[in-house]
Amino acid sequence: MKDLGVEVTFETESDAVEKLVKKEATAIMTLPKIEKKSIIEAGLSGRLLPHKVTRHVIPARPLAVNAPLEMLASKTMLLEDKNRKFVASLRARRLTRRPAGAVIGNRRYDEEILAFDQKLS
């Protein structure tokens, strides 16, 4: 569609329908529903699915967690120590909660947002 000069945006279903009703959009294009079995088969085979076809809605979405890859990949640190260090790093940061439906950047989140600020001095 982009190659044809059509503006393509990604919206939640309810936002897309609202834009259509308000005449802020002239059409909605959706992908067919993909069953869980197909997602598992794709993952096990290494086959990539198209962008945005799977969506995971969880009760609250943490953002800006930013765990150091060196720590996560460490083969010398025990998992329990990694978990303890990770939790301590989160506790040292300010947490900002945003309600379900918040828009951050150009994305709308249907779940509550838990955003972790950078480490406090």
Condensed to tens digits (0 to 9), the pLDDT of residues 65-113 reads 988 899 989 999 999 999 999 999 999 999 999 999 898 887 888 899 9
pLDDT at 77: 94
Longest dimension (CA), the chain: 58
Q: Where are the beta strands (DSSP E) in 42-106?
A: 60-63, 93-98, 103-104
pTM for the full model? 0.56
Answer with the residue of higher pLDDT: 96 or 11.
96
Check pLDDT > 90 for residue 2.
no
| Ranges of each domain in the chain | 1-55, 58-121
